[in-house]
Each structure stands twice: as structure tokens, then as C-alpha cells.
Amino acid sequence: MVVLSSVNFKNSKSMRNTAFGRKKAADSAPEEQQEGAKLMYEEKKNHPVKTALKIEADKLVKAFTTYPAKGFSGSKNSDFYEFLTMGIAPYLIGSGMMIGVFNLANKYFDPQGAGFASKKGRQMAAGVVLYGLFKTLSKKFIETPLNMKYGIDVNVPYRRKVDELPEERNRKNLTAYQYHKAYESVDFPYWDLFTNNKSFGKEREAYFKDVGKRMGFSDEELKYPGQKVKPLIREKLVQARAFTSLSSYLWGAIGVGIAMQKPFERFRFPNPVNGIKSLIEFVSPSSIKKGIAELKSNSAALWRTLKDTSSKRYGERVLGRLSCFIPSGTFYNATKPARNLLSDLSNGFKEFIGSDKAGVTSRIMNKVTHKSLNGINKPAAKHIAGRLLFAAAAGVTLLGNILTLTDFNKNKKDGASAAVSLIDENRRKEVC
Amino acid sequence: MPNILNSIILNMRNAEPSSFTYDAKHKTKPLKDKGKLLPSRIFGTPKEYLKDIGKDAVNIGRAAQGKSNDHELGRINDLALKLGSFAIACYLAAKTPSKAGKVMEFAGFGAFFGAMSLWPKLAIQLPLRQRTGADFMRQYVDSQGRKKTLNLDPQYDLTDMLSKKDLETAGDKMGVNKNLPDRDNFIKKRIRKTTLQANTLWMASSGFAVPVMAALGCNAAEKVVKPAVQSLEAAAARRKFLNTKFTPEAAQQEISSEMKDFAKFIEKHADGPASKVTGIIADRIDEILKETHSEELSAPMREELKKLSEGGIGKDSIGGILMRAFGEDAVSELKKKGKYKAAEALSGTKKSGADKIADIARLISGSGLEGLDEKTAAAKLTEAIAPQTSDIKGKLTEFFGAFTEYGRNKKALDAFIDAGIGEREGSFIAAKWTKFSQTLFNAMGFDAKQTKQIAQGAEGSEKLITAGIERLVSSGDYTGVIEALSKQLNEFEDALSSGIKHKDGLLAHLEQGREADKIFGRFAQRLQGSGFEGLAQKVTGALIPGEDAKSTFNVSARPAAGTLYKKYINYAEGRVLGARASMYRALQALDINKQAFDGTLQIRMEQAGAEKGIAQVLADIIRQFTLKASIVDNDGKLQTRPFELSEIIETADGRKTAGQLTVQRSLTPSEYKLMNEVLYGENASGSVENIAKKLPANEHQSFFKRIFGISDNTKKAVQNTAEGLADYRRGFMEHIINWQNSVTTKQAAYHTGSAHPDMNGILRHNYTGQNMLNMITETAKSNYNSRKWLMMFTGIMAGITALTLAAGFTFGRKDKTEEIAENGIRRGLNV
């Protein structure tokens, strides 16, 4: 009965509408499907950075150009994907404005006032940056283990080809591309993209079989891998999504907390102009001339050293001469901001949780001091707050890990309920 | 699958015909439509809000089981955003020292989310609904009871849910032609278009608007929240302090758990070497010292603890210990073998007691005494020093007790003092200072441009301030302003002063026999009781012999210079003195300026014998002096003699220029002579240099008394604070004017606990206070900064709002198909 109802759902056009504007090519044949929506599994696997950059750049550019233009003109081709993609605009602009609120007016203040204000302003700027950074990166804490254990990549993208309706008479190019995630909806995961996909193997449901095996099912149990595995994947998706949400904002909060520490009073955005400048300097005629002269003298010195085979510690001397060839000066300058940021981060974190050389570590090492005299060696309130926040973030992440990596429901489910994805418990009762 | 189909087919065959008839009760049927459209509105009800929170809590549970759907996950994300932001607010509140700051962190959190939800409603939804009747945030509840927005997805059209009435209203508002066939469809089309445009505008504008709106909201809230919280905080600290019982019994009760903890610790390590115990205590003590701002006791305390940790083994005691441990024979044996001297040397090293025992034990076992291996020797030695060890333990227990009591009491005192005069935003003194200087600044009526000039120290800013002061003293508001300022001063004195009139002011609690006295005195007594006399001296100072032959501290005596207690008093008195002097000084400067403006100052000069022209110059000098004289950047500026006689130089045309620092005008020798007579009285005769040398200090004083006389007018206005004013003026005279002569040692020692010249400088600094020119400049800076920020972001906010509203006006226009249809009607065609 349940199977029938789910089949029914798949054929029902009115229900499909609820996919928030995603026109899925569920009815079409596999080849057409591949053309309309293409899973970018292999691209992501082979060129993870390139693919991510390509997708994000596409979204970013369109969020500030094409999509608002379409939205403001009230285009009939606008859809929910575009609305969601535009959501990045308030995020970025808002971050900039947030930094601006604490920094823009400072230059008009008197030196003393400006000094105080800019310290705070820099911390706020660092806070905005670290919030975003921590929030984004922390999602990997849950997503990566899930992918590693079961091969369920929450973020696997697919490219959708959209055939737009003509709005102007002479518009010829009516094709648009959108970058979705196959698992962006837990109600409607785009299963079809994984079915009959050669990237995963020759078998029709190779992907589900692989996930099923990783989940510990035997071949016998995986007679119909899709039916068996899909509901479990869906469960993992829900858990991963919920707990990345819950934990990532806490990690973001930790980013803000770290930014509010002393090292970030002198935070500056790495200046791209300086980077380019130092690059230009590096390849400027005078620098090259100097470099060639240096190269010559270094080569001569190296040659002298090489010839002098009878000298003591020959190898060491040659190595020393060779190291002279490593470019210095401008080359090192370019990496300095990154080095500074890293040291600021580590110092900020130490301040955030109130650890120092003689603090937490030594107390843990010396259990007598710590245990028998608790109550007076108190950390300050801010340190306690910092530790609590850290514990909360780590705890929620860990809980997410435990939930996503453990099969609590593995044996409870049977294949029959596999295809049920949309229908709520109560609704199913009514239907059946 | 085949099985199921099979069974269905079988069932069909076997079934009774009646089972195929429609039975409304038991068979499959369409779901009942539970969904409904919610009314168009700006805010939801609180009940709904609470219900949503409850739903979210349940949602997390469902998500953990992997059962949630997209809608619920979306809600979890929103909830997580709020939780994360709340966590930020909590952390920042924990990090901010002042209560007002803590409250503001939460206000910031509220302001941000308030702005996030209000901006689209106020700037887009409301005006657009008013103009077009289309509500882009209209919500509905679907059959599963999930609340969603009607027009979020342009491809998932739910406009059909709108009632006929809604459509008609929107159509009329947007001016859809009433004669159009299928008018509703055109209206729906327009609504769809408008809502899509509104959604886009929301995304495009909120990034700009929300942070600015939140910041402006915070700024506005700060003005209300801060003063309220600050006064509450000060009152609470005071109440807590006054309710604290500073008796040892009370402290004992409160710290009993800690003491128990410590007793356990002593018990546990009773057999261990004293060095371990003292080392751990040294660790703890630093924490207490830090908490109670008594870090300077750290070094002497470590010294004392180190002495203890040596465990009573020293060059003097080693003989006795060896006797007790090994007996007379063994000792003489050791002496014979020359090991006794070595043991003595070992006991005199700087090592800890345990190490010494080990060293000596090794020495003795190596000396070949019968039956004494290293272990037994060490055990015997430990036993022999046991009396000392238990003594140490007793001492330490008492020592620790003294510290915990002191720590607990001092913390209450610190909180009270900090709320009153802490060097931080939000303390009582800071708030009063701000209020006073703002009142003064506002009374001078500077406009924005002038404020900017003064703040930036532009050329002529001094003139602007002088003009402002003149404006104030010449206006009818003068008395009112003086009264307002003096009222504030009165409050200041009430809260902070000590003395006959203000028995319960902050400083009064630091006086003899009051709370602070008890705290420090008790601490010193207990330290002395446990044998730490050196340390005790560092706390309150002098020891005097007590009745029971033992020395006790004279608690009621004034604490000696350089002690912890004295420094505490100095700090507090200095803070109050500095602020008070500046405020009184401002009053006096206003008064002198008023007198100069009215001409009474000049008349007074004339009465003293000055010619008219000279009297004018003198009045001017005095006026300048009250405004500018300062000790902050250069002692030389605050000369006791406005005309530094040694600086008189002859100009080319034979005229003498007096006191470059103060007089800008050349005087003839006769003028100069007269001025001297006015200034320094009858004694002024003979050569200029001689006069300068001969003038005794009290002449300067009388000069200042004469010229700085306060007017009856002002006196009347400041009647309430007259006592304070007189006090200030006396102090000002004595300590500033005569600083070169008398204040140096005796008085400085009294006030600062040290005759060090630097301390003298601090004292003079506090008595001088900030001059009015600086006070106004500082206030201008702070006002300019806040104004600049406010104007900048109010401007930005206004710009964003205007753009958003303007964009809203272009929304919901008819499209081509509607135009064509309208044209069709016009031409009489039925399209």
C-alpha cells in the first residue's frame, strides 16, 4: 500500500510542484535527464577547488547582477533558486556595513578618540571575518566524517539547465544554468541523479549499493539497494543538516569571541594592493638586475665550493651555498600577513579560553593543585564563558558526529518504507 | 512488487461486489483541507511566537532522529542563528566589566534581530501594501500545520488562495481597469510581479539597512539604558557593602567550605615536606592578591613562605635536630669524623626543607654510622623536626584564614569603591563628570561647526570658547546654569565626600574606625598573629606594644605612609579630589568671567589702587589664569606669580615687557611699578629683581585672595555647595599657590604618604584640577565624535530608506498583455 502511494506521488504533477520551482526531469529518459541536470560528482572529485570556485563565482556574480535585474523587472523566469542565491547579497553587504558602522567615522575623530574607536573597530572587523570563516569551515566537522564513512556528500552539486520562457521578442539565448545541490532538499533528494550514473559504477543503483555496503548491509540485504538505503541516507541528511546548523553558528560565535581578544586590536585586512606591489617589485627590472647579479655571485661561490672537494664538512657547505638561491625579501613579505593572522588566532584563542603557560596546562599536569584546592584558582568570568561556548560548540558537533556516524535505525527499517519521503507519519495513517 | 499486485488481483477476484462501492468512512479519499490563509498583518501575536518556540524545541528532537522535513530544518537554522547570536551576546556580556555594558550587549543582540525583522516590514511591506494592496510577507498555514510565506517562490503560485475581496482591494489600489474581462487574473499577475519585486528589494536592501538600523537603535537605547543601569549598579554595590559584616565570625561562616577544603589539604599532606604545602599556598595567594588588587604584597609574601618552607632546618637549629634524631653519641661521632660541619653547611643552603633532609640523610648514611642507611636517617630527621612542621602547619592554617577573610572583605570594598570612583565608564564619578561637563558645554551654546572647530583644536578655537563663556555670563541663564552645576556638585559631595556634612559619603568609609580600617587592621592583626610581622607592617604600618606583652597593631591610628592601606586611601582621595577640584574650578572660572564682564573685577582692582588701564589688564590676566592655568603639561604654566619678575625684559623703545607667559602687552616702567604695588602691596619698591627676591610667600597668597574673590551673586547661587567651594579655594590657595614653599614635604607626606617629589606633583595636579579650557575641549571632542557618527549613519540610513521607498513606487506596473487588453477595450474589441 505504501509503495503504491509513493508511486502515485511520483506520477502526480500537482505534488511535484511543491519542489519550490525546481523543474525536475523525473519523467524523462536517463539521457535527457543527464542533459537537463548533471551531477558534478566527478568534477568535484577530480578538481574540488576549481569546481567550488567555479560554482561560487557563478552564484556570486549572478546574485549581484542577473538575478536582481530579473527580480526587479518582475521576470516570469525568476525562481526560488534565484531568490535563495540572492541571499548571499545581504550577507556580504551586511558584513561590510557592520565593519563600516564601527570604522567609517573613526578617521574624523580626534587622535585619542580615534585610537580607542579603531581598536574596537578592528576587533569588530576581525569578528565579522572570523564569524564567516569559522561558520563555514566548521560545517566540515560533521560533513567530512559523514562523507568519509558512508560516501554521502551533503554538498555534491549538480548543474541544472533551465529553459527560460521568452520575454522579449528577439531574445535568442533562452538557456540558463543553475548550480544546485543534489541533497539540498531532504524532502526531495534528487535520487535520479545517482541512479544509472556511470560515475558510481556500471550497475543501475551502484551508488546506493556502495553506501549500503558502507553501512554494513550484506549483498543479500541489498537486493534492492535504493529501497533499502534511501530512507537511511535521508535520515543522515536530516541529522547532518540540523547539527551543522546548530553547531556552525556556535563556532561562528567562537570566531567573534576570539576576535574580541587583544591580538586583534591591530587587525588589518591583508592589503591586496601591497601584495600586487610586492609582486611587481619582485619582477621589476631593477629587482631582476639585482637578482641576476646575485645569481651570478651565488653561482660563482657555489662553483668554488663544489670544486673544493677536499674541505671539511663538504656537504654542509654545499647545502649552505644552495640555500642562498632561495629568494628573500619581497617573497617573504607576501606571506607575512598570513603568518601574523595565524599567530593572532592562536594567541586570541588562548586568551579566549583563558589558557596560558602557567595556567590550565600546568594545573591539569599537577592534579593535586587543581583538585584539592578548587574554588580559588578561579578563571575569570569571561574565560568560563569562553570555555562554555567552546564546550557547547564542540559538544553539538560531537553529537552530530555520533548521530550521523551511527546506525541507530539500521535494523528497524525494512525495505517497504524505503520510498516514502514526503508523506508525514500522520498523513500516511490517514491515507492508508 | 509482483507479490503485492498478485494479492490485490486475487482480492479483487474474491471480493464481494459491495466492497467496491464508495464508503466515505473507511476508504481512500482526498485529504481534508486544513490549510488556511492568515490575515495580512505586520506583527504576529505573542501567543503564536511562544507556540513557534515550542515547535522548534520539538523539531530539534525530531531532527536528531532524522525525521525532519525541509521546513523544520529551515526553522532549526533560524533558531540556530538566534542561539549563536545569543551566545555571542552572553560571551561579550561576560567579558564586559560594567553592568551597563553587559546590558548593552543584550540590547545589541535584540537590536540586530529587531532590525532584521523590522526592516522589510516597515520599509517594504507596509508602504507597498498601502499603495498596491499586495502583501509580500503574507503567510499561510499548510495542511501539515506549517506556517509559510505565500509568495516566496514565484514559480509556486499560491495567489489563488487570496480571497475575492483581497483581489478587489489590490486591483483597485493598483488601478487595474475595471472593465477588463478576466480582471482577477490580471490582478493576480500584478500581485505576483509586485511580490517578486518586493522579495528582490528585500534581499538587495537589507544588507545595507539592517546593521545601520541596529547600530542606530543601540545608540538610542544606550542613552536610556546606561544611566538607569549605572545608578542601579552603584546602589546595589553600596547596599551589598553596607550589609557585609566585617567581623571575623561572619567571614568565617562564609568561607567555611573553603577553609574545610584547606584543612583537608593540610591533613592530606601532613606528612609531606613543608615546601610542597607552602608552594601550593603561594599559588593560591597570587590568585587572591590579584582578585583583591593587592599584588604588591606578592613579593614579601613569597619571601615569608620561603622561610617557612625551609621547614625550621637552619644553621642554628641543626644541632638540636641531630641530637633529637640520632642521640648524643652519634653527634659526637659525626663531629669526630668532621661530618657535623658539613651537615651544618648543608642546613644553611637555600634549598627546601625536604631537599635538606635528603642531603643530610645521605651525608649521615655515608659517614658509616651503625644501622643508618639513607632511608632510616631521613625518617629520623623528619621525626625530629616534627614539632616545627606541626607549628608550620598551624601557622599556615592561620595564614590562610587571614587571607581568605581579607580576600572576601576586600572584594566587597573594591566593588563599592569601583562603582563609586572606578576609572571606567559607568562609575558614579565618570557619570557625574560627564553630566557636569555636558551641562557646562551645552550652556555655552556652540553650534555643530564650532564644536567641530574646538574638537579639532583648530586655530581660533580658544577664542570660540572664550566667546562661548562670554555668551553664557552675559545671558540671563547664568544664574540658572550656576545653580544647576552647583546642584550636581552637591550630589557629588553627598555621594563621595567625607566630613561633617557628608557622613555617609564614599570617602567616609575609609576613615578611622570605619569599614576599610577594620578590613586592613584585622588582616594585619591576623598576619601578625601567625608570625608574619614583616608582612603585617606592609599592610598597615606601625606596630605598638599591646597589653599582653605581645605587639598588636594600633588599628585606629592613621596608617603609615607606603602601606597597602594608605595607598588605597590615597588612590580614592586623589580620584575624588581631582574631579572635585576641576568642577569647583569651573564654577570659579565662570564667576571670575562674570565679574570681568560686569566690570566688578576691574573695580576691585581699581579699589586696590590700580589705574583704569592697568586694572583692565589685571582683570584680563586673572580671567585667563582661571581659564587656562594648568599643571598637566608644564609646571611652569602655573606660576604663583603671573608676572614672573625675572622675566621682565626691556624692549628696544625702552618699554618693559612683563611675564611673556601671561601678559601680552608692553608696559611702561611706571605702569609696571604701579602694577607691582597693586599685586604685592606696599613692599614693592626698589629694583625689579630685588622686589622679586624680597617678596615673602604670604604676599603672593594675599594677592590671590584679593583677586580671586567670589562674587555675592555666584555665592548665593552656590549656597548649597558653599562649604565645598570654600574648601576647594582654601586647598587651591594653600597647595597650588604655595607649592614652591610649603607643600613640599610636610603636607605632601600627609596626603600622599610619601615626601617624594613625584607624589607632590600628583597632589598638585589633583588640587589644580582640569582647567576649563581643557574641559570644554574634551567635551567638544566627545560630542563631536558621537555627533559625527550619528550624522553619518543617520544620513546613510535615510539614504537607504529613501531609495528603498522610491524603488517600491515603481513596483506593480502593468505588463504588456494588460496594456494590449486595455487597448482592446478602448477600441471596442473583446480581447
Residue B743: per-residue pLDDT: 37
Question: What average pLDDT does range A212-224 have in this prediction?
Answer: 88
Distance from CA of A75 to the nearest CA of B (A): 8
- For residue B257, give the chain A residue with the closest CA: A375
Closest CA to A109 of B129, B85, B457: B457
Q: For chain A, give the percent of residues with pLDDT over 90.
A: 37
Distance from CA of A88 to the nearest CA of B (A): 8
Q: In this complex, which of B197, B207, B215 lies closest to A89 when CB atoms are compared?
A: B207
Cβ contact, residue pair A424, B144, below 8 Å: yes
Q: Which residues of chain B have pLDDT under 50?
A: 1-2, 13, 15-21, 544-556, 632-652, 655-668, 678, 680-698, 700-701, 733, 735-759, 831
Residues 6+ apart with CB under 8 A from B754: B561, B562, B748
Residue B695: per-residue pLDDT: 43
Q: CB–CB of B593/B626 below 8 Å?
A: yes
Cα separation, B358 vs B552, in Å, equals: 39
Compute how many other C-beta atoms are within 10 angstroms of the C-beta atom of residue B318: 22
Question: What average pLDDT does range A319-338 have in this prediction?
Answer: 52
For cell 595565524, name the residue. Answer: A342
Compute how many other C-beta atoms are within 10 angstroms of the C-beta atom of residue A162: 18
- What are the tens digits of pLDDT across the range B569-602? 888 888 888 888 888 888 888 888 888 888 888 8
Bridge partners for A180 per DSSP: A158
Residue A325: per-residue pLDDT: 62
Closest CA to B123 of B210, B217, B218: B210
Q: CB–CB of B499/B505 below 8 Å?
A: yes
Using a CB–CB cutoff of 8 Å, tell me whether A394 touches chain B.
Answer: no
Task: Report in angstroms the alpha-carbon separations of A405 from A181, A192, A237, A417.
Answer: 21, 24, 11, 22
Query: Which residues of B are less than 8 Å from A18 in CB distance?
Result: 156
Q: CB–CB of B85/A253 below 8 Å?
A: yes
Give the helix/strand (H/E) hosting B513: none
Cα separation, B293 vs B300, in Å, equals: 15
Using a CB–CB cutoff of 8 Å, tell me whether A272 touches chain B.
Answer: no
Query: Which residues of B are less than 8 Å from A71 in CB distance?
Result: 196-197, 199-200, 203
Amino acid at B572: A
CB pairs under 8 A between A and B: 228
Test the B interface: residue of A103, A124, A139, A246 with most B CBs within 10 Å: A246
Q: CB–CB of A393/A141 below 8 Å?
A: no
CA dihedral of B395, B400, B406, B408, whole degrees rounded to 10: -160
Query: Which residues of B are less than 8 Å from A3 in CB distance?
Result: 1, 4
Q: In this complex, which of A4, A373, A430 lies closest to B280 when CB atoms are compared?
A: A373
Q: What mean pLDDT, rounded, does chain A reach?
A: 77
Cβ contact, residue pair B80, A248, below 8 Å: yes
Residue B567: per-residue pLDDT: 82
Give the helix/strand (H/E) hosting B545: strand B543-545
Cβ contact, residue pair B153, A20, below 8 Å: yes
**Helix, strand, or coil (residue B700):** helix
The C-alpha cell that represents B156 in the structure block: 509556486
The C-alpha cell that represents B831 in the structure block: 480581447
| Per-residue pLDDT at A91 exceeds 60 | yes
- From the number of C-beta atoms within 10 Å of its C-beta (0-12, 13-18, 19+), residue B582 rates as buried
Partner B, chain A 98-157, Cβ-Cβ below 8 Å: 98, 100-101, 104-105, 108-110, 112-113, 117
| Per-residue pLDDT at A27 exceeds 60 | no
Cα separation, B583 vs B770, in Å, equals: 8
User: Could you tell me which residue, A46 or B830, shows the higher pLDDT?
Assistant: A46
Cβ contact, residue pair B788, A105, below 8 Å: yes
Cβ contact, residue pair A71, B200, below 8 Å: yes
Compute how many other C-beta atoms are within 10 angstroms of the C-beta atom of residue B359: 19
| Per-residue pLDDT at A191 exceeds 80 | yes
Residue B125: per-residue pLDDT: 93
N-term to C-term CA, chain B: 53
Distance from CA of B1 to the nearest CA of A (A): 8
With b meaning 16 or more CB within 10 Å and e meaning fewer, what string describes A222-233? beebbbbbbbbb
The C-alpha cell that represents A375 in the structure block: 574554588
Q: CB–CB of B605/B618 below 8 Å?
A: yes
DSSP readout, B294-311? -GGGHHHHHHHHHHHHTT
The C-alpha cell that represents B411 in the structure block: 572584594
Cβ contact, residue pair B154, A94, below 8 Å: no
Three-state secondary structure readout of chain A: CHHHHHHHHHHCHHHHCCCCCCCCCCCCCHHHHHHHEEECHHHHHHCHHHHHHHHHHHHHHHHHCHHHHHHHHCCCCCCHHHHHHHCHHHHHHHHHHHHHHHHHHHHHCCHHHHHHHHHHHHHHHHHHHHHHHHHHHHHHHHHHHHHHHHCCCCCCEEEEEEECCCCCCCCCCCEEEEEEECCCCCCCCCHHHCCCCHHHCCCCCHHHHHHHHHCCCCCCCCCCHHHHHHHHHHHHHHHHHHHHHHHHHHHHHHHHHHHCCHHHHHCCCCCHHHHHHHHHHHHCHHHHHHHHHHHHHHHHHHHHHHHCCCCCCHHHHHHHHHHCCCCCCHHHHHHHHHHHHHHHHHHHHHHHHCCCCCCHHHHHHCHHHHHHCCCCCCCCHHHHHHHHHHHHHHHHHHHHHHHHHCCCCCCCCCHHHCCCCCCCHHHHHHHC
Cβ contact, residue pair A249, B144, below 8 Å: no
Under DSSP, the state recorded for B31 is P
Q: In this complex, which of A80, A93, A378 lies closest to B208 when CB atoms are compared?
A: A93
User: Could you tell me which residue, A130 or A313, shows the higher pLDDT?
Assistant: A130
Q: In this complex, which of A72, A97, A234 lies closest to B208 when CB atoms are compared?
A: A97
Using a CB–CB cutoff of 8 Å, tell me whether A365 touches chain B.
Answer: no
E-strand ranges in B694-820 read: none
Cα separation, B780 vs B468, in Å, equals: 12
Cβ contact, residue pair B87, A392, below 8 Å: yes
Cβ contact, residue pair B211, A100, below 8 Å: yes
Q: CB–CB of B415/B407 below 8 Å?
A: no
- What are the tens digits of pLDDT across the range A243-302? 999 999 999 999 999 999 988 988 877 666 766 666 666 667 776 777 777 778 778 888
Q: CB–CB of A420/A428 below 8 Å?
A: yes
Residue B313: per-residue pLDDT: 64
Query: Which residues of B are less than 8 Å from A164 in CB distance?
Result: none
DSSP readout, B617-678? HHHHHHHHHHHH--SSS-GGGS-SSSS-GGG-EE-TTS-EE--TTT--SEE-HHHHHHHHHH
Q: CB–CB of B109/B89 below 8 Å?
A: yes
Closest CA to A93 of A122, A119, A60: A60
Distance from CA of A287 to the nearest CA of B (A): 44
Amino acid at B104: M
Query: Which residues of A are less than 8 Å from B457 in CB distance?
Result: 110
User: Could you tell me which residue, B321 or A431, shows the higher pLDDT?
Assistant: B321
- ipTM score for this prediction: 0.75
Residue B681: per-residue pLDDT: 45
Question: What average pLDDT does range A124-141 have in this prediction?
Answer: 93
Q: In this complex, which of B60, B210, B457 lies closest to A242 when CB atoms are compared?
A: B60
Cβ contact, residue pair B203, A376, below 8 Å: no
Bridge partners for B121 per DSSP: none
Residue B498: per-residue pLDDT: 63
Residue B766: per-residue pLDDT: 72
Q: CB–CB of B367/B334 below 8 Å?
A: yes
Test the A interface: residue of B5, B71, B91 with most A CBs within 10 Å: B91
Task: Report in angstroms the alpha-carbon separations of B221 from A226, B111, B217.
Answer: 57, 9, 6
Q: In this complex, which of A71, A237, A386 lies closest to B197 when CB atoms are compared?
A: A71
User: Could you tell me which residue, A12 or B498, shows the higher pLDDT?
Assistant: B498
Give the helix/strand (H/E) hosting B139: strand B139-141
**Helix, strand, or coil (residue B715):** helix
Give the helix/strand (H/E) hosting B147: strand B147-149
The C-alpha cell that represents B336 in the structure block: 669526630
Under DSSP, the state recorded for B138 is -
Using a CB–CB cutoff of 8 Å, tell me whether A354 touches chain B.
Answer: no
Q: In this complex, which of A93, A186, A375 lies closest to B258 when CB atoms are compared?
A: A375
Cβ contact, residue pair B203, A71, below 8 Å: yes
Query: Which residues of B are less than 8 Å from A101 in CB distance?
Result: 211-212, 215, 793
Residue B776: per-residue pLDDT: 92
- For residue A354, give the chain B residue with the closest CA: B95
Cβ contact, residue pair A253, B88, below 8 Å: yes
**Helix, strand, or coil (residue B544):** strand
Cα separation, B523 vs B406, in Å, equals: 6
Task: Report in angstroms the alpha-carbon separations of B228 from B103, B235, B420, B790.
Answer: 11, 11, 15, 22
Test the A interface: residue of B59, B113, B203, B265 with most A CBs within 10 Å: B203
Amino acid at A8: N
| Per-residue pLDDT at A4 exceeds 60 | no
